[in-house]
C-alpha cells in the first residue's frame, strides 16, 4: 500500500548496499543460544570465504558461550531466511549467493544452551 501523503512520496532506502563502503550486511543467529539476545549484524567484504566467517568472525562473537568450543561445523546445519541452506566453506559470501542483508541461522544439534535452557 502507498503512504498517504500530501505530495509524491518516494525516498531511497537508508541501508542500500552502496552505502557500506564495499561491505555487505549479513545477520547470523545461533539457534538455542539466547544468551546472545539477538542475531548479530556483520558488515563483511563479499569476497570473504565462508570458512573465514566460521573460523574467525563467528568465534569472536559467539566464543564467550561455554558451548561454542563444542560446535562442529561438519555436523551443523544452516537456515537462510528460514529455509534449509548448504554452504560451501571454500566459496566466498558472494560466490554462494549471499546477498546484502541476508540472514543465516546456525543450528548445532545436541547443543541446547546453558543447563538445556536454550540460553
Partner 1 sequence: MDMHATKKKLGIKEKYAHMTRGLDWETSYQPMDKVFPQATFEGIKIHDWDKWEDPFRLTMDSYWKYQAEKERKLYAVLDAFAQNNGHLGLTDARYLNAIKLFLTGISPLEYVAHRGFAAAGRNFPGVGPRVACLMQSVDEMRHAQTQIHALSNYNKHYDGFHDFKHMLERVWYLSVPKSFFDDAFSAGPFEYMIAIGFSFEYVLTNLLFVPFMSGAAYNGDMATVTFGFSAQSDEARHMTLGLECIKFMLEQDPDNLPIVQKWIDKWAWRGVRVLTLVAMMMDYMLPKRVMSWKEAWEIYFEQNGGALFADLARYGITMPECLKQCSIDKEHIGHQAWATFYQYGGAAAFHTWMPSDDEMDWLSAKYPNTFDKYYRARFTHWRDEAEKGNRFYSNTLPMLCQVCQIPMLFTEPDDPTTICYRESDYDGEKYHTCSDGCKHIFDNEPQKYIQAWLPVHQIYQGNCFPEGTDPTVEGFDPLAKVLEWYHFDNGHDNLDFEGSRDQANFAAWRGMATKNT
Examine residue 15 and tell whether it contacts partner 1 (CB under 8 A): yes
DSSP string, the chain: -PPP-SS------TT-GGGGTT-EEEEEEETT-TTS-S-EEEEE-TT-BHHHIIIIIHHHHHTTSTTGGG--TTT-EEEETTEEE---TTSBTTTTT--TTEEEEEE-TT---GGGS--
Query: At closest approach, how far in Å is the CB of 73 from partner 1?
Result: 19
Rounded CA-CA distance 32/94 in Å is 28
Query: At closest approach, how far in Å is the CB of 21 from partner 1?
Result: 7
Q: Which is nearer to partner 1, 6 or 74 (CB)?
A: 6
Examine residue 27 and tell whether it contacts partner 1 (CB under 8 A): yes
Rounded CA-CA distance 102/19 in Å is 16
Q: Which is nearer to partner 1, 14 or 74 (CB)?
A: 14
Q: Which is nearer to partner 1, 96 or 119 (CB)?
A: 119
Examine residue 54 and tell whether it contacts partner 1 (CB under 8 A): no
Query: At closest approach, how far in Å is the CB of 22 from partner 1?
Result: 12
Name the site residues for partner 1 (rule: CB under 8 A).
Answer: 1-6, 9-16, 19-21, 23, 25, 27, 29, 31-32, 34-43, 60-61, 64, 66, 81-82, 99-103, 105, 113-115, 117-119
Amino acid at each position: 500500500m502507498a503512504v498517504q501523503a500530501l505530495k509524491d512520496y518516494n525516498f531511497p532506502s537508508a541501508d542500500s548496499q552502496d552505502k557500506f563502503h564495499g561491505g555487505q550486511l549479513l545477520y547470523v543467529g545461533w539457534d538455542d543460544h539466547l544468551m546472545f539476545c539477538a542475531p548479530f549484524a556483520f558488515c563483511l567484504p563479499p569476497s570473504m570465504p565462508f570458512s573465514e566467517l566460521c573460523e574467525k568472525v563467528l568465534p569472536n562473537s559467539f566464543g564467550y558461550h561455554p558451548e561454542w568450543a563444542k560446535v562442529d561445523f561438519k555436523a551443523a546445519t544452516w537456515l537462510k531466511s528460514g529455509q534449509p541452506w548448504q554452504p560451501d566453506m571454500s566459496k566466498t559470501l558472494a560466490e554462494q549467493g549471499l546477498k546484502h542483508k541476508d540472514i543465516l541461522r546456525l543450528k548445532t544439534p545436541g547443543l541446547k544452551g546453558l543447563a538445556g535452557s536454550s540460553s
